[in-house]
A = this chain, B = another copy of it.
Amino acid sequence: MMPPEVRMGCVETAACLAVGSELLGQERVDTNSLTVTRFLAGFGVRMTEKRVVGDDVKTIAQAVAGLLKQADIVVVTGGLGPTADDVTREGVAAALGREVQRDADIEVWIRERYAKFRREMPASCVRMADVIPGARVLRNSRGTAPGLLFEIEDRLLAVLPGVPWEMELMLEHDLKPVLEKRNADRRRSTRTLLLSGVIESEVEERIRHLYDRFGRENVTILASAGLVRLLLSNSGPAGEIAPALDRMEAAFREVLGRDVAAVGSGDIAEVVLEMLREQGAMLATAESCTGGLVGKLLTDIPGSSDVYTGGVVSYSNAAKGALLGVPDELLAAHGAVSEPVALAMAKGVRQRLSADWGLAITGIAGPAGGTTDKPVGLVYWAVAGPEGDRCLSRVLPGSRSLIRRLSANIALDLLRRGLIRGGA
C-alpha cells in the first residue's frame, strides 16, 4: 500500500465560485458550495478555495480566470437566469477569451418547455439559449437555464444554475459520469464518529498516536457545544475504501470506548431516542435553564413520541413546586440551582409522568443572576432511572446561548451513559 503522502500527491483540487449579489448581503450565505464539496469529496477531490462575487461581468471573469489557474476543477453556480442581472455566461466567456453565441436548438428547447407548462416565454428568456463555444450544454430537466461544461486541457469547468434542486441534478446526471471516468482509482470516503460528554482537546490527546498510522490529513475533529465529531477519511480505489474505514473505525473505537455515541451524521438526541426505543423505555424531562430546549431537540426528530412522553419547563420556583412537587423547603435551603433540587426535579417528573427515566437540568445561563458561590454557567444535571439516580455539576463557559446548548447536550449525554448502564 502506498503511504498516504504519495496518494495525496495525485488528489485533485477544486474551487467553487458562487455568483449573485444576494449572496453578498446581510442574510444569506452560499451553501451550494457545501453540496459541491460533498459531491467532489466522493471522488477524492479536495476543495481548496471558495469565492462569492456579485452579478458583474468583469468580476466574474477575473474570478473564473484566477481559479482556473489554481484548481483542477472549478464549479461556478448562479447567474444563469433570464434577467439582466444574470451575467455569468458573459463573465465565463470573457475569462476564456470567447464570446457567447445564441444556440438555435436550445432556444427551441426553452420555448418548448414554456409551451409544455402552457406559459408564454417572456422575451428576455431567450438569453438562456446563449452558450459559449467549446462547452457541452447541460439540459436542465428541473428548470430552464442550461448548464455548461468545459474540459480545458486537464481542467474541468462546470457552470451550473444556482437553484440547489437544479444544480444537484446536473451534478448527479452530468458531472458524475465525467468524474467517475477521471478519478476511477482515487475515490475518497468519510465516516463520522459522534462523541459526547468529552472535550475536544482531550480527544485530540487521546487519538494523536493514531495520526501516523492513518495519516493526519485523514482525521478531522469538529467540536460544537459539547459534541465532538471525528471525521475519518480514506482515499483509494473504490473497492478498498470501506474495509480501510472499518479498520480505522475499530482503532479509534478501541481508544475512545463509550465516548463514541454513534456512527454517522446523527445527533445526540437521535442516539438517546434510539436507545430508549431499544429498551422499550419512556423518558420525561424537567428543564429549568434550558427552558424547553431539550424537549425541542428530542421532538425535532420524527417518531420521538414513541419514547418521549413530555415534561415540564420549570422556569420559576412556582412551576418546580406545582408541576414537579419540589418542596419549598428544599428550594429555600439549597436554592433552585443545587444538587438536591436537580435530583428532586428528575425524580418528580419521572414519577408524575410514570416514565422510566427522568432527566432534569437546573442552572444559571446568565448573563445576570450569578453570585460568587453560584456563578453564571453553574449547571446541575440529574437523571433518575429504574435503578437509582445520579447528579452531575459543572461551570460552563461562554454566552447564554452557548451555556444553554452545552447544558442540553450534556444532559442528553448523561442520559445516554445511564442507558448504557441500564440504570442511572
* A-to-B contact residues, CB < 8 Å: 22-31, 33-34, 37-38, 41, 46-54, 59, 63, 66, 70, 165, 190, 220, 222, 229, 231, 284-285, 287, 289-296, 298-300, 302-305, 308-316, 318-319, 322-323, 352-354, 365-368, 398-401, 404
When the two chains form their complex, are residues B313 and A353 in contact, meaning their CB atoms are under 8 A apart?
Answer: no
A119 to chain B, nearest CB (A): 12
Q: Which of B50, B53, B294, B314 contacts A52 (CB 8 A)?
A: B50
Contact A353 B318 (CB under 8 A): yes
A367–B319 CB distance below 8 A: no
A166 to B355, CA, bound (A): 43
Q: What CA separation (Å) do A302 and B315 show in the bound complex? A: 12
Cα distance A354–B298 in the bound complex, in angstroms = 28
Query: Is A366 within 8 A of B295, CB to CB?
Result: no
Chain B residues within an 8 Å CB radius of A48: 24, 53-54, 59
State whether A26 and B37 are in contact (beta carbons under 8 Å apart), knowing that A312-B312, A315-B309 are contacts in the complex: yes
A-B contact pairs, 15 of them (CB 8 A): A22-B220, A24-B49, A26-B38, A27-B34, A27-B229, A29-B30, A49-B53, A49-B54, A51-B52, A289-B299, A291-B308, A295-B296, A299-B313, A308-B316, A312-B323
Expressed in whole angstroms, the Cα–Cα distance for A190 and B315 within the complex equals: 36
A53 to B289, CA, bound (A): 39
Residues of B contacting A46 in the complex (Cβ-Cβ under 8 angstroms): 24
Q: Are A309 and B318 closer than 8 Å at their CB atoms?
A: yes
Find out whether the CB atom of A222 lies under 8 angstroms from the CB atom of B28: yes
Query: Is B302 a contact partner of A368 (Cβ separation < 8 A)?
Result: yes
User: Contacts of A51 on B, CB cut-off 8 Å?
Assistant: 49-52
Interface centre among A25, A284, A289, A404 (most CB of B within 10 A): A25
Nearest CB to that of A47 among chain B residues? B24
Known: A49-B52, A295-B313, A315-B305. A300 touches B401 (CB 8 A): yes
B316 touching A310 by the CB < 8 A rule? Answer: yes
Interface centre among A22, A299, A322 (most CB of B within 10 A): A299
Q: What B residues does A34 contact at CB under 8 A?
A: 26-27, 29
Task: Tell me the minimal C-beta distance from A172 to chain B in angstroms.
Answer: 15
Q: How far is the CB of A229 from chain B (nearest CB, A)?
A: 8
Which residues of chain B come closer than 8 Å to A303, judged between CB atoms?
368
Chain B residues in 8 Å Cβ range of A47: 24-25
Q: Which residue of B lies closest to A222 (CB)?
A: B27
- A294-B292, A310-B313, A318-B309 as given contacts; A22 in contact with B53, CB under 8 Å: no
Inter-chain contacts of A315 with B (CB < 8 A)? 295, 299, 304-305, 308-311
Known: A41-B26, A54-B48, A165-B399. A309 touches B319 (CB 8 A): yes
CB contact under 8 A between A220 and B291, given known A59-B49, A310-B316? no
Select from chain B the residue with minimum beta-carbon distance to A69: B62
- A35 to chain B: closest residue by CB: B26
Q: Are B313 and A319 in contact (CB under 8 A)?
A: no
A365 to B46: give the CA distance in the assembly, Å: 36
- Given A27-B34, A308-B315, A319-B309: A296 touches B296 (CB 8 Å cut-off): yes
Q: How far, in angstroms, from A299 to B400 measured CA to CA in the complex?
A: 10
Cα distance A100–B59 in the bound complex, in angstroms:
32
Q: A53-B48, A296-B293 are in contact. Are A22 and B310 (CB under 8 A)?
A: no
